[in-house]
A and B are shown apart, each in its own frame.
Chain A
Amino acid sequence: MIENDNKLTPIIELNGITKEYCAKATFFSKGYTSVMALDNINLAIQKGDIFGLVGQSGSGKTTLGRLLLKLESPTKGIMKFNGKSINDLKGKGLKTYRSKVQMIFQDPYQSLNPHLSIAETILEPLIVNKIGDHNSRKEKAIETLDTVGLTPGKEYYDRYPHQLSGGQRQRVAIARAIVLDPEFIVADEPTSMLDATIAIQLFKLLQQIKEKYNMTFFFITHNLAAAKYLCNKIAVIHNGIIVENGPSDQVIQHPEHPYTKQLIQAQPKLNF
């Protein structure tokens, strides 16, 4: 495994990524206060990984995901995609990059436009990237709905988000993320708003998708058990710092950092 890693260029490589949020000076405090959301992050994600990022709320997980999608820029550091820097992407280059990298958001009640039908939501990435024609797009959208378990796809095609359950909405969000056949998907706590049984169904779905399309996943969670279940590699983040990083089994069975040990103790049920 490790030898293999050395030969291949990682799909995502982060070198010294730092993100500092500045809050403007208030009436009471002179100067500026800043929040160090991410502090000198170094990570490499290999093609085919389901890479888990585990940490408690406020540790900087979402920030890292948003950086990867270029929804935000790092204060310092270099981000590479397939060996090429993506720091300064703009315009067309950014659009191409984003067609290869997609995101599944945390809250399925917020991530779908209530005024757009399921079809319109899933077709949007195909339309704005000018892929296919009217008929082939429709076919692709229905096929993708089938893939994410909303079967038969035709049934769901013309519905609206308010007619779906949370789990179904998240499946639509997954469909939107995979419809462009991206290489890399950031999933930001995709099940934290849903029931445990539905969460497990969605984990299985993500696994199936990963195997079927050989996509690479960056799976963000606050739940070590979920990461253990789903991921082959895990990084543990604490206050914007990666404190532990390695293959899942190693991180869970032989944790080195006290914070990781603490996390494991706090979650005795590590099996699904």
Chain B
Amino acid sequence: MAKNHYLERFQKGWKIFILNPLGKTGIILLIIFMLMAISSFFIPLLDPMYDPMTGIDPLIKESMPPSFQHWLGTDNVGRDLFAQLMEGAKVAFIVGLASAFVSIVLGTIIGMISGYVGGITDRILMRAADIIMIMPSLVVLLILASLFGQFNIWIIVFIIAIMRWPAVSRVIRSQALSLKSRPFIEASKVAGASDIRIIFRHILPNVLPLAFLYMTFRVTSAILVEAALSFLGFGDPSQVSWGMMLQWVWKSGHMFQAPYWLLPPGICISLLTLSFYLLGRAMDEVLDPRLRKEEERK
């Protein structure tokens, strides 16, 4: 039965969302990128030469412009750029969603505990959040990478997540703080519910929409940080990504000679982050307090 309730809410929100031009654009872009990411699984099956990392066209010795064989051309060792671009979409989704998910889970749990428990716990957690929040994540990643050498992509995902929970926890904390004194929380306390139960049963469902909203913004920033890191040469060298493609254009000296190589990853990074940003903005409108109040009143 609980499912029905959430389904109903989701459908109501979805209607507002999809009528919103921002939301519609965001969704369409997102679907295109999803198709790209999915296609990355099939392209190497056509011919081993289309493997984005190891597939080398034996006939090609230098970077080639688009052709029938290679729709977007090849890089300087003869790897197919279209295959790399599709692989990059997949990696961007993985990096963005995985690191956003981890930072949202961390931020939401820490924010709820901080806001609800209060006192010294709150002060310690929020001080930690402040310290992490003022550290620029890209710089920290660069320092860590120069200390420990190049990181595996999962470690990068994890570090971005660790760097990005504080802002989420701040927002969730202030929500929890205002929920804490709401009578339904006190009623639950009076009924004998434990703090853990109150946090997860009563506060969580009320902050969940906000957490989802922040998730879209976190996806954007994770994709950008990973791209910047890769472009600067500190990415995972065994993993194709859009940032890595840019790094290869740069390193091989094709920055100004091969626009067919430079532009696609650059445009994709901008459009994918834009699509998540648009989703977030549209979602924000769905969660707009005035609209929500109307829903409550119905």
A interface residues, Cβ below 8 angstroms from B: 69, 71, 95, 98-99, 101-103, 105-107, 110-117, 119-120, 124-125, 128-129, 158, 160, 162, 173, 176, 180
Contacts and interface: CB of A to CB of B under 8 A. Distances in A.
Interface string B183-196: 11011111111100
Contacts of B192: 95, 98-99, 125, 128-129
29 contacts: A69-B190, A71-B186, A95-B192, A101-B190, A102-B191, A103-B186, A107-B183, A110-B182, A110-B183, A112-B184, A112-B187, A114-B206, A115-B205, A115-B206, A117-B1, A117-B5, A119-B1, A120-B2, A124-B188, A124-B191, A124-B193, A125-B191, A128-B191, A128-B192, A128-B197, A158-B1, A162-B295, A162-B296, A173-B187
A120 B205 CA distance: 13
A65 to B, nearest CB: 11
A5 B187 CA distance: 32
A238 B201 CA distance: 39
B202 interface: yes
A114 B296 contact: yes
B5 A160 contact: yes
Contact of A71 (B189, B191, B295): B189
Interface in B206-221: 206
Given A102-B191, A111-B183, A114-B206, 9 more contacts: A98-B189, A98-B190, A113-B202, A115-B205, A117-B2, A128-B193, A128-B197, A173-B187, A180-B191
Contacts, number: 69
A24 to B, nearest CB: 15
Given A95-B192, A128-B191, A115 B5 contact: yes
Contacts of B2: 117, 120
A162 B190 contact: no
- The SS class assigned to the A binding surface is loop
B191 A105 contact: no
A71 B189 CA distance: 8
Contacts of B184: 110-113
A110 B184 CA distance: 6
Contacts of B202: 113, 116
B5 A103 contact: no
Given A111-B184, A115-B5, A158-B1, A71 B190 contact: yes
A128 B192 CA distance: 6
B183 A128 contact: no
Nearest to B204: A115
A115 B200 CA distance: 12
Contacts of A71: 186, 189-190
B290 interface: no
Contact of A128 (B182, B194, B295): B194
Contacts of A102: 190-191
B154 to A, nearest CB: 34
Nearest to A70: B190
Task: Pick the most buried of B5, B187, B194, B295: most chain A CB atoms within 10 A of its CB.
Answer: B187
B298 interface: yes
Residue from A111, A158, A173 whose CB has the most chain B CB atoms within 10 Å = A111
A158 B5 CA distance: 10
Interface of B: 1-2, 5, 182-184, 186-194, 197, 201-202, 205-206, 295-296, 298
Contacts of B182: 110
Contacts of A111: 183-184, 187
A114 B2 CA distance: 12
Nearest to A108: B183
A169 to B, nearest CB: 11
Nearest to A94: B192
A105 B205 contact: no
B298 A162 contact: yes
A186 to B, nearest CB: 9
A131 B84 CA distance: 60
Contacts of B201: 116, 124
A30 to B, nearest CB: 25
Contacts of B188: 113, 124
Nearest to A124: B191
Contacts of B1: 117, 119, 158
Given A111-B183, A162-B296, A98 B5 contact: no
A111 B189 CA distance: 12
Contacts of B197: 128
Contacts of B296: 114, 162
B118 to A, nearest CB: 15
Q: Which 7 A-B pairs have the closest CB atoms?
A: A115-B205, A125-B191, A111-B183, A105-B183, A113-B184, A110-B183, A128-B192
Contacts of A115: 5, 205-206
Nearest to B6: A115
Contacts of A112: 184, 187
Nearest to A186: B190
A117 B2 CA distance: 7
A173 B187 CA distance: 9
A86 to B, nearest CB: 14
